[in-house]
Amino acid sequence: MIRIAVVEDDEDYIAVIKKYIVRYMKEKGDTISVDVFQDGNQIVFDYQPVYDIILMDIEMPKMDGISAAEKIRELDKDVIIIFITNMAQYALKGYQVRARSYILKPVNYYSLALELQEAIATISRKVDDTILLKDDDVLKKISVNDIYYLESQQHYIIVHTKTGNIRIRESMKNMERRLEKSYFQRCNVSYLVNLAHVSSIDRDIVVVGGERIPMSRQKSKSFVSALTDYIGGNINA
């Protein structure tokens, strides 16, 4: 599912954009959810990086779209921002907050559909590179490449990443399934390791992200085999 936030203070434009998104879904077969915010401050307040695309007006009464995008970028470097404006001179400011593009008002279906198609194609190429995790009540979008390893602790999983640890209420089996397309392998029943960050194996110890993790006898053969395949595949690539 593609998650889109529409940030627009004009009710008529909100209705038009939502109608165009519904039409796009019917034509392309994509599943899209839409949340509406009627000012920049509404989306910025308690922002969580759960959106794939933000369609944002620039001129709004309380917080303009550029200011809102600046604050969003502090929390979310991946979301695709597309500005909707009736003034082309705002385009340069838009690129300063890494906006993908802008659509001039009045919005027509074909302009919006083209932007959505290109944005969704970009998202589809990245879909396996990120994972959405719930830390207490906060949803966090994490790059899979930033994960060192996952550690099972009773009913929780501790996700060890480059920027710190995240505790989630999840089973190791389910996390293993969610990461099956990436290069993760269990070195024992309680640890799921990102093979990209393994620096060495010392007998029954795996060194990953600078930390030493025990490797069980039962898992050692499959782990070493998976690591060998991963290293060989990357060398051959």
Instruction: Give pLDDT tens digits for 189-207.
Output: 999 999 989 988 988 999 9
What is the widest separation between alpha-carbon atoms in the chain? 66
Structure confidence by residue, pLDDT tens digits, 152-164:
998 899 999 999 9
**Domain 136-236 has what CATH class?**
mainly beta
Q: What is the mean pLDDT of residues 220-225?
A: 92
Residues 118, 100: Cα–Cα separation, whole Å? 10
DSSP codes of every residue in 186-217: EEETTEEEEGGGEEEEETTEEEETTEEEE--H
Structure confidence by residue, pLDDT tens digits, 79-136:
999 999 887 666 566 667 888 888 989 999 999 999 999 999 888 766 557 888 988 7
Assess whether the previous peptide bond of 106 is cis (omega < 30° from 0). yes
Q: What residue segments make up the domains of the chain, in order of their start?
A: 2-129, 136-236
Pairing mode, strands 130-135 and 80-85: unpaired
CATH architecture of 2-129: 3-Layer(aba) Sandwich (3.40)
Residues 63, 190: Cα–Cα separation, whole Å? 47
Residues 54, 60: Cα–Cα separation, whole Å? 15
pTM of this structure: 0.61
Region for residue 122 given its phi and psi (left: phi exceeds 0; alpha: psi -120 to 50; beta: otherwise): alpha
